[in-house]
Amino acid sequence: MENIRRFCVRLADRRWILPVLLVLGMTFCVVAESTSLLNSYTRFVLTAMLVNVILCVSLNLVNGYLGEFSVGHAGFMALGAYASAMLTTCLFPQTPALFIPAILVGGLMAAVVGFFLALLSFKTRGDYLAIITLAFLMIVKSALENISWVGGPRGLAGIPTLTTLPIAFATAIITLWVIRNLIYSKFGRAVVAIREDEIAANAMGVRTREAKILAFTVSSFFGGVAGALLAHQITFINPGSFDIVKSTEILVMVYLGGIGSLAGSILGAVIFTFLSEALREYGTWRMVILPLILVLLMIFRPRGIMGLRELPWFLPRRELFNRRKKS
């Protein structure tokens, strides 16, 4: 046991492993997509896992690094999913080349709405973000149900299957890269300082409102991107797919993996995907067990598996010497 631990620690310090893993992963995805190496179910689960990584990392920015509580991530997914699906299904069908722009449009749509929502909600005290995002989630859902040209309550069907394993992999990597670069900059440090002590951060020159809005907008953008990917994976979406249950799933991932750790978010998304697949045969009981896990996590390990620790692979080189040592 001790040997395994030491081996892991040594592995974690070998930073060249990360680029190697990336190349291997990408190759694997391309091969798996073009050959029959994996059956379609396995491919589907792996793609879902990558989408979950995007969701978890992006929500972690708000709920983990910033320390606020948003329950609206499913709403941003819905915006991204519907915006991109309208493009690829209704406006420009039969042009798969437009998928990448469509993903971006989905992300931007979510980001714009996220920006205005943040503008409103961070005027007020902390727990009002929970209330505002809850209202936002309900408004998105019932607005979609009332707009007939996006299918109303029946939703949009016949979305082309464009989310391939390589695309999902590449998007997940880009998401991680962007968020990591954001966190290890003055912008990210401001966000984390707010979580630690908002008043002190403010008094130390951190423009708290701007930092919160930035974090929330970036988080919404990637929520929208993940929604776009999901729509083109499952090919059918309706307002009911983006409800509080979906938001809760993402919350479980975030708090399972670790607030304030990218490695934790990946871990959380991976564990959650497999757990969720394993529980699928239990039907609605699945949504009893998952929230129960969330509750137990909050009571016994509120900072998740990784907590605030980060894998050295993700740290910029100049931050390495500043890795948290035990106090």
Partner 1 sequence: MSALLEIEDVTMRFGGLCAISNCRMTVPAGITHGIIGPNGAGKTTLFNLITGIYRPTEGIIRYKGRKISGQRPSRIALEGIGRTFQNIRIFKSLTVLENVRIAYDSQLRYGPMESLMRVGRYGRAEDESIARSMELLEHFGLSGFASIPASGLSYGSQRRLEIARALALKPALLLLDEPAAGMNTGETSALTEFLRDIRDHFQVTMILIEHHMHLVMNLCDKITVLDFGRVIADGTPAEIRANPRVIEAYLGESTE
Partner 2 sequence: MAYFAQQAVNAISLGFLYALIALGYTMVYGVLTMINFAHGDLFMLGAFICLLLVTFSPIALPFPILLVLVMLIIGGLGGLIERLAYRPLRDAPRVSAVITALGCGLVISNTTLSISPYSRAMPEVFNDQYFNVFGVGISTLQMLIIGVSLALMIGLDALIQKSRFGMALRAVAFDARSAPLMGISVNRIISLTFLIGTGLGGAAGMLYGMAFPVISASMGVLVGWKAFIAAVIGGIGNIRGAVLGGFILGTVEIFSVATLPSTYRDLISYSLLLVILIFKPYGILGRAPNIKV
Q: Which of 68, 18, 44, 43 is nearest to 213 (CA)?
A: 68
Nearest distance, CB of residue 318 and partner 1, angstroms: 6
Q: Which of 153, 135, 133, 131 is nearest to 144 (CA)?
A: 153
Nearer to partner 2, 174 or 292 (CB): 292
Please work out the total of residues on this chain that contact partner 1, with binding judged by CB under 8 A. Answer: 33
Identify the residue whose tokens are 């997940």: 172
123 binds partner 1 (CB under 8 A): no
Give the span between the Cα atoms of 269 and 50, in whole angstroms: 8
Nearest distance, CB of residue 239 and partner 1, angstroms: 33
318 binds partner 1 (CB under 8 A): yes
Nearest distance, CB of residue 28 and partner 2, angstroms: 35
Nearest distance, CB of residue 259 and partner 2, angstroms: 9
Nearest distance, CB of residue 78 and partner 1, angstroms: 26
Site for partner 1 in 276-315 (CB under 8 A): 308
Handedness of CA 151, 154, 160, 166 (dihedral sign): positive
Task: Name which of partner 2, partner 1, none residue 69 binds, using a CB cut-off of 5 to 8 Å depending on partner kind.
Answer: partner 2
235 binds partner 1 (CB under 8 A): no
Task: Name which of partner 2, partner 1, none residue 131 binds, using a CB cut-off of 5 to 8 Å depending on partner kind.
Answer: partner 2
Nearer to partner 2, 22 or 130 (CB): 130
325 binds partner 1 (CB under 8 A): yes
**What residue ranges bind partner 2 (CB under 8 A)?**
63, 67-69, 71, 120-121, 123-128, 130-132, 134-136, 138-139, 141-143, 145-146, 153, 199, 244-245, 248, 251, 255, 283-285, 287-288, 290-292, 294-295, 298-299, 302
Q: Which of 127, 153, 135 is nearest to 72 (CA)?
A: 135
Residues near 289 by beta carbon (within 8 Å), at least 6 away in sequence: 279, 282
Supply angle C-alpha 150, 154, 157, rounded to 5.
70
Handedness of CA 32, 34, 40, 45 (dihedral sign): positive
Is residue 75 within 8 Å of residue 64, measured between CB atoms?
no
Nearer to partner 1, 280 or 317 (CB): 317
Is residue 187 within 8 Å of residue 214, measured between CB atoms?
yes
Task: Name which of partner 1, partner 2, none residue 190 binds, using a CB cut-off of 5 to 8 Å depending on partner kind.
Answer: partner 1
Site for partner 1 in 166-225 (CB under 8 A): 178, 181-182, 185-187, 189-190, 192-193, 196-197, 199-208, 214
Task: Name which of partner 2, partner 1, none residue 134 binds, using a CB cut-off of 5 to 8 Å depending on partner kind.
Answer: partner 2
Give the span between the Cα atoms of 240 and 247, in whole angstroms: 12
Supply angle C-alpha 237, 243, 249, rounded to 5.
100
Nearer to partner 1, 36 or 322 (CB): 322
Looking from the CA of 255 toward its CB, the CA atoms found within 13 Å total 25
Nearer to partner 1, 30 or 178 (CB): 178
Q: Three-state DSSP class for 34?
A: helix
Q: Three-state DSSP class for 77?
A: helix
Nearer to partner 2, 82 or 255 (CB): 255
Q: Which of 265, 270, 269 is nearest to 306 (CA)?
A: 265
Is residue 74 within 8 Å of residue 137, measured between CB atoms?
yes
Chain residues that interact with partner 1, rule: CB under 8 A: 178, 181-182, 185-187, 189-190, 192-193, 196-197, 199-208, 214, 308, 316, 318, 321-327
